[in-house]
Amino acid sequence: MKKVVDVSLPIGPIHPCFKEPCRIKCETSGERVLTTEVELGYVKKGIEKIMIGRPWQETIFLAERVCGICSVVHNTVIVEALEEISGITVSRRAKILRIILNELDRIQSHLLANYSYCYTIEHETLAMYLLNLRETAMDSIEMMTGTRVMSAYIVPGGVREDLSDENAAKILEATYTLETELKRYVKMFETGPMIALRSKGIGVLSAEDALASGVVGPTARANGLPRDAREADPLYHELGWHMILRTESDNFARIMLRFQELFQSVNIIRNGLAALEPGKIRNGGEMKAGRVKHTVEAPRGDLTYDIEIDSAGQVVFVSIQTPSIPNIEVASHAMMKNLASVADVTSTFISADPCIACAER
């Protein structure tokens, strides 16, 4: 059958809806969007290439700068990989502090994703509410680590700084602020008739496509696929983690799933603060040569580092597999297919929470 295409419409690379540069080429027939193609390559820096041949101490800082939004999880996964190579143990207090910081990072990342979505469907009021709430999480991160972004808090053997009791009390207070405010905003999102018109039944990812594409993170869990790397960590189970799944698999489900995960993260932080016992925050150890593949759940899905270190402490090989790669692919090929309107292209793309800097590195 001959395909009738009216206009090939480019969106981007600089577009009000995008935080980062990327280009979406849409083939349209009237207002209907037939197919889309995502063109990347605007923020390629070659981080893996830079890492090779450098001492492992430097790669920690480089790994953090793969992505600014989820810098904490990149820091966590490379440090945990290095610890796994050398057999360095981490005390329980340091482990819980890592989890608290990771969940705070997840809160700010999910809030930023939902802000972007609300901004894209032009519900600016809710978007600004969410962005303001994100500052509460950012203040907690700053209180804990000393800086807002790129904290370098997690070091081999533990964490850099201890959390004082008064700061712990302030973070506990912030979780209550987050929870009460979030309840209001989730109700606004869930019951808003206009939001439902722009979200429900749009950007549906079919079960076959989801299985075939290897989609990860909240995008997979909104499709009913139980994919979460936190499942393998017994400490997370102890702190009250459980798998959250939704089955609608449209834009609405993906955003609502992030809201539900926010409540869970708040809960994990509270349980973590309650479970903190006094103890050492940093253990010593000796770096050894070896190769390891380590996976941690980032805000967007499974983040894997495959890293090899030689006996001189230099990185011989490194490969980073970020969650945004499958999520962007599935967004462009399966979700943004046969959409009713061009306006749905950006909102569907943002609902998958693509992080271009992560995907290109």
Partner 1 sequence: MTVLQKLKNAVRKRSIHVCYVNTGSCNGCDIEILACLAPKYDIEQYGIYVHNNPREADVILVTGGMSTQWLDKLPDLWDRVPEPKAVVTIGNCPISGCVFNRPGKLIDPPVSKYIPVTAAVPGCPPRPSEIISAILGAADILFKDYEIHQKEKKGGSHK
Residues lying near partner 1 in the complex (CB under 8 A) are found at: 13-16, 19-21, 41-47, 49-50, 52-54, 58, 61-62, 65-69, 71, 112, 128, 131-132, 134-135, 138, 148-150, 355-357
Q: Report, in Å, the least distance between residue 66 CB and partner 1.
A: 6
Which residues, in sequence order, are bridge partners of residue 306?
293, 319
Q: Report, in Å, the least distance between residue 357 CB and partner 1.
A: 4
Tell me whether residue 287 or residue 355 sits nearer to partner 1 (CB atom): 355
Q: Report, in Å, the least distance between residue 69 CB and partner 1.
A: 6
Q: Report, in Å, the least distance between residue 51 CB and partner 1.
A: 8
C-alpha to C-alpha distance for 358 and 355, rounded to whole angstroms: 5
Hey, what are 271's tokens? 């349980």
Hey, what are 9's tokens? 């419409």
What residues have CB less than 8 Å from 244, skipping those under 6 apart?
221, 257, 260, 261, 264
Tell me whether residue 47 or residue 275 sits nearer to partner 1 (CB atom): 47
Computed from CA positions of residues 212, 213, 214, 215, in that sequence, does the dihedral angle turn out positive or negative? Answer: negative
Tell me whether residue 273 or residue 356 sits nearer to partner 1 (CB atom): 356
Tell me whether residue 16 or residue 284 sits nearer to partner 1 (CB atom): 16
Q: Report, in Å, the least distance between residue 49 CB and partner 1.
A: 4
Q: Report, in Å, the least distance between residue 105 CB and partner 1.
A: 12
DSSP 8-class letter at 40: -
Tell me whether residue 150 or residue 244 sits nearer to partner 1 (CB atom): 150
What residues have CB less than 8 Å from 152, skipping those under 6 apart?
60, 61, 64, 75, 145, 160
C-alpha to C-alpha distance for 174 and 139, rounded to whole angstroms: 9
Tell me whether residue 96 or residue 262 sits nearer to partner 1 (CB atom): 262
What residues have CB less than 8 Å from 226, skipping those under 6 apart?
243, 245
Q: Report, in Å, the least distance between residue 199 CB and partner 1.
A: 22
DSSP 8-class letter at 160: S
Instruction: Find the length of the chain.
Output: 361
Tell me whether residue 34 or residue 131 sits nearer to partner 1 (CB atom): 131
Q: How many CA atoms lie within 13 A of 18 on its CB side?
A: 20
Tell me whether residue 212 or residue 316 sits nearer to partner 1 (CB atom): 316
Hey, what are 274's tokens? 């309650």
Return the ∠ at Cα 292 (arms to 288 and 298), rounded to 5°: 120
The residue whose two tokens read 């230099």 is: 314
SS3 readout for 207-243: HHHHHHHCCCHHHHHCCCCCCCHHHHCHHHHHCCCCC
Q: Report, in Å, the least distance between residue 150 CB and partner 1.
A: 6
